[in-house]
């Protein structure tokens, strides 16, 4: 996973209590990751982060879920965490794609480890 330049700024700001990522977005874009990415290549949906896990020292995990109904017909190529102000924190591009037919749920967990 690559963290964007803007994402590094947001992470640094969070060390002093600024806004955290509030959404995980998914998309169909397949362009390669670049540190200057400011958005997903082709965002198709975003869901609010519904769980944050801080139980492991120096780690934070953000979790977002999609139900079978809302993900039905979706093709997933990319995803990333986004702040309320729409700052892209990171972007992950899959080597292939996942196609959802209405039978599956989707849960994306993004864990950030800080080695200070």
**Dist CA 44 CA 39 (whole Å):** 12
> In the chain, where are the structural domains located?
2-113
Q: What is the pLDDT of residues 39-76, one digit of tens each?
A: 999 999 999 999 988 788 777 889 999 999 999 999 99
Quick one: pLDDT at residue 49? 94
Is residue 17 pLDDT above 50, yes or no? Answer: no
Q: Bigger pLDDT: 102 or 19? A: 102
**Dist CA 70 CA 9 (whole Å):** 32
At residue 19 the predicted structure's pLDDT band, cuts being 50, 70 and 90, is low
Percentage of the chain with pLDDT > 90?
61
Average pLDDT over all residues of the chain: 87
Quick one: pLDDT at residue 12? 59
């Amino acid at each position: 996973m690559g963290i964007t330049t803007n994402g590094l700024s947001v992470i640094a700001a969070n060390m002093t209590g600024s806004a955290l990522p509030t959404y995980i977005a998914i998309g169909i874009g397949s362009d390669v990751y670049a540190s200057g990415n400011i958005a997903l290549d082709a965002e198709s949906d975003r869901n609010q982060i519904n769980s944050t896990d801080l139980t492991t020292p120096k780690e934070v995990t953000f979790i977002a879920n999609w139900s079978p109904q809302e993900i039905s017909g979706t093709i997933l190529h990319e995803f990333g965490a986004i702040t309320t102000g729409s700052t892209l924190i990171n972007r992950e591009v899959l080597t292939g794609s996942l196609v959802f037919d209405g039978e599956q749920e989707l849960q994306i967990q993004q864990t950030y480890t800080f080695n200070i």
